[in-house]
């Protein structure tokens, strides 16, 4: 700078040097701030990044507990709760055991009749699925009268399964009274169809309230805690192993059952119907 004193020149040089140092510091601060902002933004985006899509496997046709495949013949039981059924789709279930038999609700108590029994009964026969009819038993009502309600509706043919009775509750009735009424029902039905009826109940109810007095009847037992065998102290004929099954052709949940042995014994069981 012209005319500037040596002192002034030295002062200006120091100031310029000082300003140069301050600019560098400012640059470092800006860079650090930019890095901090970038890092924060990157971490925030990483946290908010949506998780990869979860692959949801559809429940198998037979949900947990799975089908006890060591019993080769499986079946279902239905009522008006299942509404309309596409019976043609029940013979094959995507590699699972097909539906080989069906128990169909016919009656309940003294007068009640399942509104879809005639439809289900006819359709099951047309689909060539072994069929059987069952009565829902009320412990509070006379056994003979309940049997007559069932007999008035159900007309069995050779090749049908034996009639069945569903007994699950005492409804406040003394166990001995329930047993007497149930025996009356079973005897009346047996006398009419000339075949031993099947008794359906839970493993707990059978163990607690029925027992040896009913051991001569084929047992259809409900037990859902195992895929190996029902929790029972006696032999069984049918096992209802799942009450929330899914099958193509049926919109609602459906009970799933297994026959205790092989196809040869099942054929013999059906041929037993030739007695009437």
Query: Exposure string (b/e) for 236-274, b if CB count within 10 Å is 16 or more?
Result: bbbbbbbeebbbebbeeebbbbbbbeeeeebeebbeebe
Q: Is residue 168 annotated as a catalytic residue, yes or no?
A: yes
| Candidate list 108, 168, 169, 190, residue with the active-site label | 168
Cis status of the peptide bond prior to 65, with omega within 30 of 0: yes
Q: Residues with Cβ < 8 Å from 257, sequence gap 6 or more?
A: 74, 75, 76, 77, 101, 103, 220, 238, 239, 240, 241
Q: Strands, E, within the chain: which ranges? A: 74-78, 99-108, 112-113, 130-136, 164-166, 198-202, 219-222, 238-245, 254-259
Active site residues: 168
């Amino acid at each position: 700078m012209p005319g500037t004193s040596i002192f002034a020149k030295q002062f200006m040089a120091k100031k310029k040097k000082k300003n140069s140092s301050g600019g560098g510091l400012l640059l470092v601060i800006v860079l650090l701030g930019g890095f901090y902002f970038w890092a924060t933004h990157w971490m925030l985006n990483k946290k908010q990044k949506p998780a990869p899509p979860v692959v949801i496997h559809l429940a198998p046709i037979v949900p947990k507990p799975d089908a006890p495949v060591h019993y080769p013949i499986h079946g279902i039981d239905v009522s008006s709760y299942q509404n309309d059924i596409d019976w043609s789709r029940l013979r094959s279930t995507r590699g699972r055991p097909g539906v080989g038999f069906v128990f169909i609700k016919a009656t309940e108590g003294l007068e009640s009749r399942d509104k879809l029994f005639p439809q289900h009964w006819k359709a099951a026969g047309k689909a060539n699925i072994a069929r059987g009819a069952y009565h829902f038993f009320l412990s509070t009502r006379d056994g003979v009268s309940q049997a007559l309600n069932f007999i008035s509706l159900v007309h069995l043919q050779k090749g049908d399964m034996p009639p069945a009775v569903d007994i699950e509750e005492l409804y406040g009735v003394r166990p001995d009274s329930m047993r007497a009424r149930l025996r009356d029902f079973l005897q009346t039905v047996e006398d009419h169809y000339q075949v031993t009826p099947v008794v359906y109940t839970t493993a707990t109810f059978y163990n607690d309230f029925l027992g040896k007095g009913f051991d001569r009847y084929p047992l259809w037992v409900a037990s859902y805690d195992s895929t190996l065998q029902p929790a029972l102290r006696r032999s069984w004929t049918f096992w209802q192993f799942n009450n929330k099954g899914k099958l193509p052709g049926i919109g609602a949940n459906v009970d799933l059952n297994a026959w205790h042995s092989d196809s040869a014994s099942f054929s013999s069981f059906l041929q037993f119907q030739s007695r009437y």
